[in-house]
Amino acid sequence: MPSWEIFEHYCCEHPEYREQVLPESVTARVSVEKASTLGWARYVGSSGHSIGMKTFGASAPLKELQKKFGFTPENIIVAAKEQIAKAR
């Protein structure tokens, strides 16, 4: 989702679009944000999982930071599989 503001504005005018993009029946949700996870709960729901930075001030080579904050493909796959298993 490139812009929450544009998404929300469009959904206000076209509520059926929100249901197409984020169906209420789908509870297995994962967000990946290379910044703060703040705000993603409204899109992943209370049972969803947000991958992102929950602290600030970390300094290290990029690959180390990606591992530290869970931005690896392997971690994202694990989170998605866990969400699917919980939703079943």
Per-residue pLDDT tens, the chain, 88 aa: give them: 889 999 999 999 999 999 999 999 999 999 999 888 999 999 999 999 999 988 877 888 989 989 999 999 999 999 999 999 999 9
Give the Cα separation of 58 and 67 in Å (integer). 12
Look up the pTM and report it: 0.84
- The boundaries of the domain holding residue 13 are 4-87
- Provide CB contacts within 8 A for 50, sequence distance 6+: 30, 31, 33, 37, 40, 41, 44
Residue 59: CATH number of its domain: 3.40.50.920
How many Å apart are CA 13 and CA 18, to the nearest integer? 10
Q: How many domains does the chain have?
A: 1
